[in-house]
Amino acid sequence: MASPPPPTFLFPHARSRATYLPVLLALTIPPDFLLRVVVVLVPMILSLTVHEYAHAWTASKLGDDTAERMGRLTLSPLAHIDIFGTILIPLFSVFSSGFGLIGWARPTPISPQRFSRNVTMRTGIVVTAMAGPLSNLLLAVLSIALFSFLLRFVPGALASTGPRGSGVVMLLQSMFVLNIGLFLFNLFPIPPLDGSRLLPRSMDDLVAAVGPYSWILLLLIINFVPFLLSVPVALIARLLEAVFQTHLSGGWL
C-alpha cells in the first residue's frame, strides 16, 4: 500500500520565508553600506563622465567630430556609462573592501584621420589620450581646493553629521582619492588604457599582441601588486595636501 503524501502542515511558513527573504538579506548588509555606495558611485560616475567628455572635447577641437556625431560630446552620464565598469565593479569594490580606485566607462571613439592638418595623427592621438587622465587630475585638485576653501571660510559646511563625519567631507575625500587613482590607472601602458596610446609607434605590434590579454594583466596587477597604484596615489595625495596645507585623504589611503 502506497504511503500517504506528506502533510502540508510540515511547511506552513514557506511563503512567509519567501516574503521576508529580502528583509533578511537587507539585515545582513552593513548599516553604512548605502552611504558607502553613494560616496563611491556618485564620484565614480561623475569622474568617468568628465574623463570621456574630455576625450571627446579634445578630439573635437582637433577637428575630429566622430564622438560628437555619436552623441558622446556631452556631460550626460547616460552617454558614457558602462554597466560593468561604471556600476558593477565599483559596487563589488564597496562590498568587498569599502572603496575602489578602479572603474571605466564606454571608450570614446576617435578617428585620427579626421584631425586637422595642423597636427599629425600621432600628436592628435597623444593629446586626445592625455585629456582624459588630466581631467581626473584636475578634478582631484578642484576637490582639495574646494575643501581647503570651505575649511577656511565656511567651516560649518563641513560639520560632522554622523559617526563617519560630514557627507560633504566624505564626497570630497572620495572625489580626491578616486580621481588621483583614475589619473594614474589610465596612464598604465596597457591597452585599452590611455597610457597605451602614449607608447612609441615602434611598440604598436606589441600593444596589438597584448591587447586580447590586457584585462588579465590588469587584474593580476590589481590583485597581486596593488602597490603599483596605491603607492603613487598616496604620494600624489600627500603632495597636493602639502600644497594646499590641508589633509583630505583621511582614512581612504
pLDDT < 50 regions, the chain: 6-18, 21, 24-25
Q: Give me the pLDDT at residue 159, please.
A: 74
What distance in Å separates the CA atoms of residue 195 and residue 187, rounded to the nearest whole number? 4
pLDDT of amino acid 233: 94
Grid cell listed for 69: 556625431
Distance of CA 126 to the CA centre of its chain: 22
Cell of 91: 559596487
pLDDT value at residue 161? 56
Catalytic positions are: 52
Phi, psi values for residue 27, rounded to 5°: -70, -20
Burial grade of 5 (CB within 10 A; 0-12, 13-18, 19 or more): exposed
Distance CA(74)–CA(39), nearest Å, equals 23
Question: What is the reported pLDDT for 3?
Answer: 58
Under a CB-based contact definition with an 8 Å cutoff, are residues 186 and 178 in contact?
Answer: no
Whole-structure pTM over 0.75, yes or no? yes
> Each residue of 214-240: b (16+ CB within 10 Å) or e?
beeebeebeeeeeeebeebbbebbeeb
SS (H, E, C) the chain: CCCCCCCHHHCCCHHHHHHHHHHHHHHHCCCCHHHHHHHHHHHHHHHHHHHHHHHHHHHHHCCCCHHHHCCCCCCCHHHCCCHHHHHHHHHHHHHHHCCCCCCCCCCCCCCHHHCCCCCCHHHHHHHHHHHHHHHHHHHHHHHHHHHHHHHHHCHHHHCCCCCCCCHHHHHHHHHHHHHHHHHHHCCCCCCCCHHHHHCCHHHHHHHHHHHHHHHHHHHHHHHHCCHHHHHHHHHHHHHHHHHHCCCCCHHHC
CB contact at 8 A, 189 and 250: no
At CB < 8 A and 24+ separation, what contacts does 146-150 make? 146/172, 147/172, 147/176, 147/244, 147/246, 147/248, 148/244, 148/245, 148/246
Using CA atoms, how far apart are residues 101 and 153, in angstroms rounded to an integer?
Answer: 30
pLDDT of 180 reads 96
Angle 56-62-68 from CA coordinates, rounded to 5°? 35
